[in-house]
Every structure is written in C-alpha cells, then in structure tokens.
Structure 1
Amino acid sequence: MASLSFSSLALPPSQSRKVLASAPYNGALKPIVVRGDPPTFVSAPGRRIVAVGDLHGDLAKARCALETAGVLSSDGQDLWTGGETVLIQLGDILDRGEDEIAILSLLRSLDVQANVVGGAVFQVNGNHETMNVEGDFRYVDPGAFDECIDFLEHLDGHGYNWEEAFVSWISVSESWKEDRRKSQSGWGPWQLLKRQKGVLARSTLLRPGGPLARELSRHGVAIKVEDWLFCHGGLLPHHVAYGVERLNKEVSCWMRGGSGEDIDDLEIPFLATRGYDSVVWNRLYSREPADMSFRKQQICSVAEETLGSLDAKAIVVGHTPQPSGANSKCNEKIWCIDVGMSSGVFNSRPEVLEIVDNRARILRSSADSFAGLEAVDYI
C-alpha cells in the first residue's frame, strides 16, 4: 500500500471560478458567471438546470440518474452529453456505498467536459461529507474503506499528482475493485489488518487538510443558480442573516485545514454543519410534519421568508428520502428530491429535477430496468 505520510500527499488546489472561461458551444447563451469561492451565486442565463439528490456511494445508480438527467452518455464512456446544461448534485455522495471516490471523480470529469461546451457541474456538501471530515466513519461501507486504500495506491502511481489521479480514477476504479476481490483472503488476522489500513487511508484522505477533504472544500453547503436555491438539508432565515457566502467560506476553510493553524484546534462551522437546524442537517422542508395543517403553514412561511431574502423562486433539498418519490410543496416553493436511490438506502429508481424557463418537473427512470424514462409535466 502507498505510504500514508501526510507530508507526501500532493494537495488539490483551492480553485475560484469567477467566469467559466470557455465560450458557449453554440454561441447563443451568455457565459456562466460565478460569485464566491466556493461558488455561491451563479448566473447561468437561458440554461437548462438539472438537480440530482443523494447518491451514497452507488455508482450504478449515480450513472443512471445522470443518464436520466440527459448529461451522461449511456455507452459506458462517461461522456458529458448535457451541452450547456447546469447540473447540481445535492451532497451525500459519501457513506452507505462502496464507490464514493469514483462518483466524486465522475462529477469532476463531467465538470471539466461541460466547461468546454458552456455547461457546468456544481456540488454542495451534505451531512455525510461533513461527518467524514470530522472523522465520523459510522456509516462507511466496508468496500469504501477498500476504495480508500486502492485510491491511495493509485495516487502513488501518479506521483501524487492529485488532478491527474483524481480525474482518472473513474476510468480505472472498477478494475481495481475487481482485482481486489480476486485477491481477497478470508483469513481473520488479514481482515483485521485490512480494516486498520482502510481506516488509516480514509483518515489520511478526509481529515481537515487531507487531499480529499480539500477536494470537497471546492464546494459549499448552499448555492443559488439563477432564481433557484440548492442545499442538502435546508436554508433557514438565520442562515441567510449570517450570510450564505460566509457559511460556504467557513466550511471550505475548515475542510482545507484552516490557514496554518493546528488542525486539532480548528473550530467546526456549527451553523452550517452541526445541530438539528444547521444547513446540512435540518429536515424542516423535507420531512412531513405530524400536525399537517398547522405545521405546514409554518414551514411554508419560513420557506417564503428565506426565499424572499435571497430573491429566489424555490429551494431544492435532499437529505430525507421520500418514499413516494420526489415531490414539491408550498405551491412549488420547496422541492424534495432525495429518493433514496442508493442500494444502501431504499434502492429505489433514480429521479432527478429538471428546470427549464423557471418551470420544474421530475424525470424518472423506468421502474425496473432503469433504461427508460418518465417525465412528470412541468408545474
């Protein structure tokens, strides 16, 4: 296995995207303009917007969802087919599945491809990303620990060139997994040693300042694209009063390991990442209240206040699996799109949200084979 020395790991750069440099593919649309580092406010005039909810380490379902969204080729080549589309993924890529880094690599590869033709891929971090950066590995699939070991060896093979190794991981991860399975031993002491290596590898990658934590630091916890807000749990009025861009910067700084401070002394951004009403944890918008009539009115009022303060039309959230599928509430001001598609959750059929000309609809893959497509009319 590759050396796990922190000092030997090349760290991914913290990149600020103000204007996506490439001209639009057909020349008809204005360039995408991004404000904030991580991206917080995005102007993407005329673009089709698609949003994908929680993926939880399930690469097959992630690919199916992206194909359903019309942004990923179906030929196994992992090519961007979305043109000038803007894709937003709502976090919780980590935990419950074994292909987490592969999904992150796929999304980064698609972003690189999309930028060339006037599109873009944005992500927000969810509670499972922040938990892992804190060192909370309770929900990690055993295969995900193995992927961390494999990826560190892959990184070593690329001379610790992060960009090269990370973007290329999606193209080789499945062969690494297959090789690992062929060489697995059932010998008890070996399994214990492998688990220890897996925990150490994951800690190396994901602790604040670690290379994968720095990769996650490229993304905030909330983003506004045109008139639509996107976050994992939910933005509330006191988050907006504190400052969405400020929240994103604080989370990013924490994930990067601060600016020279002792990592062990870094403060975790509480308002964004901890507590029942934090941005990544709160379920106000996504959980059905017990007292429907009274509580629903309150929830809609909170959503309207939040949206009004940011001049937004609607908020899109993940975090809480919706047993009946993606849905909207409060006169389409709230959209809940976590359908528990991962095999580690509900193993349900993928669904995505499509927004065209400020009108939204749900796109659903076929129930059984996931090869077909259903669309609910725009509302």
Structure 2
Amino acid sequence: MPAPERIVAIGDLHGDFEAARKAFRLAGATDAKDEWIGGKLVVVQTGDEIDRGDDDRKILDWVEKLKGDAEKAGGAVVALVGNHEIMNVQFDFRYVTDGAFTSFDGSQAPNPQVSTALAGMEARSRSRAYAFAPGGAYATMLSRRPVVAQVGGTVFVHGGVLPKHVALGLDKINENAKQWLLGKDPTPPRALVSEDGPLWTRMYSAAPGREECAMLGETLKSLDAKRMVMGHTVQRGGISQACEGKAWRIDVGMSRFFGGSVEVLEIKGDTVNVLKGS
C-alpha cells in the first residue's frame, strides 16, 4: 500500500495479551478499552502473536477485530504471519502453553480431512489442531495475512527478505501461503518452512556484516524500498537498527516469557523513531 502519514510497527507478542494491549496503546492505535482510536494510522504487526503464552487465541481474535475497525476509520492493521503461526498449522505445538491449549477446548468442530492425521495426537491438542489445520478456522484467518508486506518505502516481514525471494516473487509467496493455509494445496510452500525463508532467516536480524548488508541493499533496491522492518530475533537492548538504518529489528521480547519492555517503531516519512513504554 502507499505510504500513509504515520506507520507503527509492533514486533512479536507471543501469547501475552497485556503486552499486546500496551503496544497498541503506545502506538496510539487503541484506547484503555482496547478499541481502535488510530484513525488513519497504519499498524503493522510482524507475526508471532502466538505460542509461549496463554493468551494467543485472545490476541488473534482481538487483532482480527481491530483490522475491521481500523479499515472503517480509514486506517489499517496489517498482521503478518510468523514462523510460530506456521508451526501451529503444521501441528508443531512444542511452544504451546497449558492455558493456550485450554482456550481452544471444545470450540472447534472435528474436520474429517485431518482426523486421520490427528488419530495419534494427545486429547488436549486436538481442538487446537482442528483450529489450525489447513482449512480450519484459524488457518483460514491466517490465510488473510501476508508473509511480506510493503507499505510505502518500508518492507515488513517476520524474518527477512533475501534477493532470491524477490526473484521468486513476493506476491507469489503470499499467494502460495494463502492457498496452503486454506487447505487447497497439500504441502506448505518451501518458502514458508526453509531455514533461509522469509519467516526463518536471521540474515539481517542477528549480527549482519558487510556481506549481509550488501545483500539487504540489493533487496531493497529491487523493491524500490528504503528499509526493512523485521521481528523474529529478540533484541535484548531494545529496538535496534543495522546496515546504516536499512534494517530495523523490532522483536524486543515484550512478552512475559522473555521479560522485555514494550517498544514500537514509528515511521513518518523518512523519520524513524523508537517509542518506549513506561
């Protein structure tokens, strides 16, 4: 989408609704009642809303509601998929807490298409599995969320975009992910599960050197973009930049699991600011 007057990016939330509330309020997006007040503001959440905390279903539902409310007000909430969302669609529940399992109990109707695959699964996992199975209610919700989004001159992604992803086609990556999440393709696209895919790479979010920064520069040039904003790798010192401001790493581990502070990234034209919670 074209650049709005103001964008705020929010990193990994990992099942902590209180941290999510604080982040959206810090962004100026919501009020004390958790209702949209952002007007034409564009909020981008870079994935990993789920796992590690008990509130992941609550966060997913709330962000989905905010998407509709923001649109009515002339703004937008762009929620991306992260690697943890995809892990759940693949029934990889190793980071799911007891409370997050319980929140799905009895709420999802069995899906005959996946019942065989779930036959050996422990009972407490099945409701969540029905919800996240391709074509299930929450996988369908995720199908409406892109892997990569570009807003004005900023590219947003959970892990990172490499030149080969641009060559493959970002629209193609988004569409292939959508078709799999809807249950229309039998296997996940390689880009979603590869170690160097857009959801998993730490090329720019760990400790990029000259070679990695050159690769980022090439990627941004091909997309006519100025910067890339990503989550995925916890920045213990808070939101940080690399590659002369071309990479912004916004996963600050704000969930209870990691114990970080709440910070968000504000972009207004060519000005980038870090907003810190109290």
Normalising by structure 2, we get a TM-score of: 0.93
What residue ranges of structure 1 are gaps of 5+ in the alignment? 1-41, 156-194, 260-265, 290-295, 367-379
Q: What is aligned with 2:183?
A: 257
Q: Aligned residues: percent identity?
A: 42
SS at match of 1:148: coil
Q: What is aligned with 1:324?
A: 237
1:316-360: CA deviation from partner (whole Å, max 9, x where unpaired): 00000001110111111000000011112x211111000012311
Amino acid at match of 2:102: D
Work out which of the residue numbers 74, 77, 97 in structure 1 matches 2:53.
97
SS at match of 1:80: coil
Amino acid at match of 2:210: Q
Aligned residues: 268
Work out which of the residue numbers 47, 64, 70 in structure 1 matches 2:28.
70
1:75-106: CA deviation from partner (whole Å, max 9, x where unpaired): xx211111100000000011101111111111
Shift of 1:124: 0.9
1:9-28: CA deviation from partner (whole Å, max 9, x where unpaired): xxxxxxxxxxxxxxxxxxxx
Q: Which runs of 4+ in 1 moved over 6 A?
A: none
Amino acid at match of 2:184: G
CA contact (8 A) 1:149 1:197 kept: no
CA contact (8 A) 1:339 1:350 kept: yes
Query: 1: distance between equivalents of 2:173 and 2:187?
Result: 13
Query: 1: distance between equivalents of 2:216 and 2:207?
Result: 14
Q: What is aligned with 1:354?
A: 266
Work out which of the residue numbers 59, 71, 80 in structure 2 matches 1:124.
80
Work out which of the residue numbers 269, 274, 284 in structure 1 matches 2:189.
269
Given the alignment of the two structures, is residue 312 of structure 1 paired with residue 225 of structure 2, yes or no? yes
SS at match of 1:43: coil
Amino acid at match of 1:362: V
CA contact (8 A) 1:148 1:198 kept: no
Q: What is aligned with 1:281?
A: 200
Q: What is aligned with 1:82?
A: 38
SS at match of 1:319: coil
Query: 2: distance between equivalents of 1:256 and 1:235?
Result: 24
Work out which of the residue numbers 151, 158, 163 in structure 2 matches 1:225.
151
Shift of 1:114: 1.2
1:217-261: CA deviation from partner (whole Å, max 9, x where unpaired): 1011100001100000000000000000000000110010016xx
- Which of these two proteins has the greater Rg computed from alpha carbons? 1
Shift of 1:47: 2.5
Shift of 1:198: 2.8
Amino acid at match of 1:268: P
What residue ranges of structure 2 are gaps of 5+ in the alignment? 110-120
Shift of 1:306: 0.4
Query: 2: distance between equivalents of 1:220 and 1:198?
Result: 29
1:129-166: CA deviation from partner (whole Å, max 9, x where unpaired): 1111011111111110001116x17x9xxxxxxxxxxx
Amino acid at match of 2:229: V
Q: What is aligned with 1:163?
A: none
Given the alignment of the two structures, is residue 201 of structure 1 paired with residue 114 of structure 2, yes or no? no
Given the alignment of the two structures, is residue 52 of structure 1 paired with residue 37 of structure 2, yes or no? no
Normalising by structure 1, we get a TM-score of: 0.69
Query: 2: distance between equivalents of 1:252 and 1:216?
Result: 8
Shift of 1:196: 4.1
Query: 1: distance between equivalents of 2:169 and 2:31?
Result: 38
Query: 2: distance between equivalents of 1:134 and 1:108?
Result: 21
